[in-house]
Amino acid sequence: MAKKTVSEILVDTLLAAGVTRVYGVVGDSLNGITEEIRKRDGIEWIHVRNEEAGAFAAGAEAHLTGALAVCAGSCGPGNTHLLNGLYDCHRSRVPVLALAAQIPSAEIGSQYFQETHPENTFKECSAYCELIAHPDQAVRCIEIGIQTALTQRGVAVLVIPGDISHEKTEAPEPRLPILRNRARLVPDLEDLRAAADLLNTCSRVTIMAGAGCAEAHAELLQTAEALGAPVVHALRGKEYVEPHNPYDVGMSGLLGFTSGYHALMDADALLMLGTDFPYQQFLPQDARTVQIDLRGEHIGRRARVEVGLVGDVAATLQALLPLLNHKRDRAHLEKAQENYREARQDLDDLATGEAGDTSLHPQYVARLLNEQAAADAIFTCDVGTPTIWAARYLRFNGQRRLIGSFNHGSMANAMPQALGAQLTYPGRQVIALAGDGGFAMLMGELLTLKQLKTPVKIVIFNNNSLGFVELEMKAAGILEYGTELENPNFAALAEAAGVRGIRVSAPAELPAAIAAMLAHPGPVILDAVVKRAELSMPPTIEAAQVKGFSLYTLKAIMSGRGDEILELAKANLFR
């Protein structure tokens, strides 16, 4: 059998898995791998400015394709920079392989320059994390890592010392037997009957649908019709649940709609489909609950579940549907739909541009983006208020996609995720909704967009603050502290970097600015100066929040910051 270096075996196996790019920053401990990539057709090295951005970009690629994506970091700081992005990939359940280079193998344990122990560091954010300490491990460890990432929909980490990557071992042809396999998991008939009996007995069923409904849209609609059930979606389920869905009544949770909240709280039965929605306070704890999830560990950890079904959502609903009675009483559904129409109108009324105003309501920015973006646009959004506006104002039709750090909740994800999305689909429109704080945190990736000539459109919601953190402080009754940002003119900064920059603050200028951004063939920064004092209210207000906000206003006035209260009133009450 022919012998090859560990680097050759790795690249052979990546190509067999369909990998076409590796995101990272080069370094001497990666030289064996990067040199092998350089020599090959069909795979390329994507040079980012920070390995964290490379991990986010790989995660976006994996999210969009469902296939394996790869990122890499050199020894020590190079691969520890991957950590935050990999946490996001792992918690978002996307298949990513991370190559964590290591110091020379003979030096491990000697506190050598840049020594870390990645097999320990990455264990919590991976499904597989192993050190290749001898070249004879390479074939099996690489194949196991790839198959683990694909089957468990998470991160696999291969720790490879720089010297080991150059060593040779016997190299059979790569084998990834599960690469294109598809399996369906369906619960036992007795368990399906128990779920059907519960749902048939109750009169007000509401469905809570998440990302597990990605391939179950038809079955979801059929189930909602049979049960006369409104469908509330979790944020990660929005792109899959919302399209062409007459039963959808919006989101619930901190970013949601009143209609979604009340549809859940008014139910006497809850059917949870492919969702690990984390906020117990937004779920009806007294309703009888059926939960369907591919991962049994998810069942019952957010609400008290009476019947749990471990299975694929689509296949399980197909088996459950013949057992359901068609409910003729549609009162619960019709009430939820009417509440949704009213909530939707209330939100749309806030997304306006006022003549003569010198700053923008962020809702208006999001609404116009939704109206002018392509039918198959890919959106990314930063954590915080950009996620709120994306959740409330972007509409999804089955072609559009939405990516964010919805489980890990990291700042600075939108721009690098947009990079990965644009490289994956170079012919599609990719728009990042970025916060000013998030954009600044990984601002160096603007240079990556320029260097790679990726036509990503970055819309910065520039309110000179960490806006969502300020809202949390006000709700808790404390004065905001440490949240103010002294921002540059981001459009001018972009122009200095060789990227088209557009700055807009007046509502009358916004439609043309967005049109110009979308028409430009290269990357663009749209610096949208939005109102800092804009409030985003959750669907239900608890007494503690009312008390906290009242306490905040009192403290603000007594500390001489009453102008903040006036600005809040102007931005939110007098509209």
138's tokens:
């390479």
What distance in Å separates the CA atoms of residue 335 and residue 497, rounded to the nearest whole number? 53
Which of 51-55, 362-366, 571-575 shows the lowest per-residue confidence on average (mean pLDDT)? 571-575
> With pLDDT > 90 as the criterion, what percentage of the chain qualifies?
81
For the chain, the first-to-last Cα distance in angstroms comes to: 76
Q: Report CA 170 to chain centroid distance, whole Å.
A: 40
pLDDT of 87-142, one tens digit each? 999 999 999 999 999 999 999 999 999 999 999 999 999 999 999 999 999 999 99
Binning pLDDT at 50, 70 and 90, where does residue 575 land? low
Give me the helices (H) in 497-561, please.
Answer: 510-519, 543-558
Lowest mean pLDDT of 179-188, 294-303, 359-368, name the range: 179-188
Rounded to an integer, the average pLDDT of 263-281 is 94
- Position 480 scores a pLDDT of 76
Two structure tokens written together for 545: 């929040």
Question: Looking at residues 220-224, what average pLDDT do you find?
Answer: 98
The answer to whether residue 232 scores a pLDDT higher than 90 is yes
State the Cα–Cα distance between residues 267 and 287, nearest whole angstrom. 6
How much is the pLDDT for 203?
97
DSSP secondary structure string for all residues of 189-208: HHHHHHHHHHHHH-S-EEEE
Higher-scoring residue by pLDDT: 94, 568: 94
Separation between Cα atoms, residue 435 and residue 43, nearest integer Å: 33
At residue 554, φ and ψ (nearest 5 deg) are -65, -45
**pLDDT value of residue 562:** 43
Mean pLDDT of 247-275: 92
pLDDT at position 216 over 50: yes
One-letter amino acid for residue 398 of the chain: G
Residue 243, number of CB atoms within 10 A of its CB = 15
Query: What pLDDT score was predicted for residue 574?
Result: 46
Going 240 to 245 to 251 to 257, the CA torsion angle's sign is positive
In this prediction, residue 474 carries a pLDDT of 63
Does 406 participate in catalysis according to the annotation?
Answer: no
Identify any residues that bridge with 207 across adjacent strands, giving them in sequence order.
Answer: 231, 271
* 114 given a catalytic annotation: yes
* Statement: residue 508 has pLDDT above 80: yes
Query: Is 383 annotated in the active site?
Result: yes
State mean pLDDT over 60-85. Answer: 98
Specify the pLDDT at position 182.
80
Band the pLDDT of 566: cuts 50, 70, 90: very low
H/E stretch holding 265: helix 258-265
Contacts for 124 with CB less than 8 Å, ≥ 6 apart: none
Which residue among 383, 504, 524, 530 is the active-site one?
Answer: 383
Q: Give the pLDDT score at 351.
A: 87
DSSP 236: G
What does the pLDDT average to over 239-250?
97
- Residue 330 three-state SS: coil
More confident of the two residues 301 and 475 = 301
Residue 316: pLDDT above 90?
Answer: yes
Query: What pLDDT, on the 0 to 100 scale, is given for residue 542?
Result: 55
d(CA 258, CA 394): 17
Neighbours of 102 (CB within 10 A): 29
Q: Does residue 122 have an active-site annotation? A: no
Three-state DSSP string of 145-173? HHHHHHHHCCEEEEEEECCHHHCEEECCC
- The pLDDT of residue 347 is 86
Q: Taking 80 as the threshold, does the pLDDT of residue 475 lie above it?
A: no
Q: For residue 555, what pLDDT is reported? A: 43
Evaluate if residue 18 carries a pLDDT over 50.
yes
Smallest CA-to-CA distance from 14 within 46, 36, 47 is with: 36
DSSP letter (8 states) at residue 100:
E
Q: In what order do the strands lie in the sheet with 44-47?
A: 44-47, 21-24, 69-73, 96-102, 155-161, 128-131
**DSSP 8-state class, residue 327:** P
Sole residue written with tokens 């704890």? 285
Using CB atoms within 10 A of its CB, is residue 218 exposed (0-12), middle (13-18) or buried (19+)? exposed
**Dist CA 435 CA 461 (whole Å):** 5
Q: How far apart are CA 139 and CA 11, in angstroms?
A: 11
The pLDDT value recorded for residue 537 is 54
pLDDT tens digits along 531-563 = 886 655 555 555 554 445 454 344 444 444 444
Residue identified by tokens 């009476």 is 306
Q: How confident is the model at residue 253 (pLDDT cuts 50, 70, 90)?
A: confident
Please give the Cα distance from 168 to 163 (Å, whole number).
11
Q: Predicted confidence band at 357 (pLDDT cuts at 50, 70, 90)?
A: confident
Catalytic residue among 8, 36, 48, 51: 51
In the set 468, 490, 524, 529, the catalytic residue is: 468
Angle, vertex CA 171, rays to CA 168 and CA 173, nearest 5: 155
Q: Does 272 score more than 60 pLDDT?
A: yes
CA dist list (Å): 152 to 17, 138, 148, 170, 482: 16, 21, 6, 28, 40
Please report which helix (H) or strand (E) contains residue 130, including its range: strand 128-131
**114, 147, 417, 422: which is the annotated catalytic residue?**
114
Average of per-residue pLDDT across 282-308? 94
Exposed / middle / buried, residue 345 (Cβ in 10 Å: 0-12, 13-18, 19+): exposed
438 touches 81 (CB < 8 A): no
pLDDT band for position 181 (cuts 50, 70, 90): confident
The tokens describing 188, both together, are 């036992």
Identify whether 51 is a catalytic site residue.
Answer: yes
pLDDT of residue 552: 39
φ/ψ (deg, to 5) at 267? -80, 145
pLDDT at residue 572 in the model: 52
Q: What is the pLDDT of the chain when averaged over all its residues?
A: 91
> Residue 426's pLDDT is what?
98
Q: What is the pLDDT of residue 477?
A: 72
**C-alpha R_g of the chain:** 25
Q: What's the confidence (pLDDT) of residue 536?
A: 58
pLDDT at 557: 40
In this predicted structure, the answer to whether residue 456 has a pLDDT above a threshold of 90 is yes
pLDDT score recorded for residue 540:
55
Residue 196 CA, distance from chain mean position: 33
Q: Which of 261-275, 496-510, 554-568 has the lowest mean pLDDT?
A: 554-568
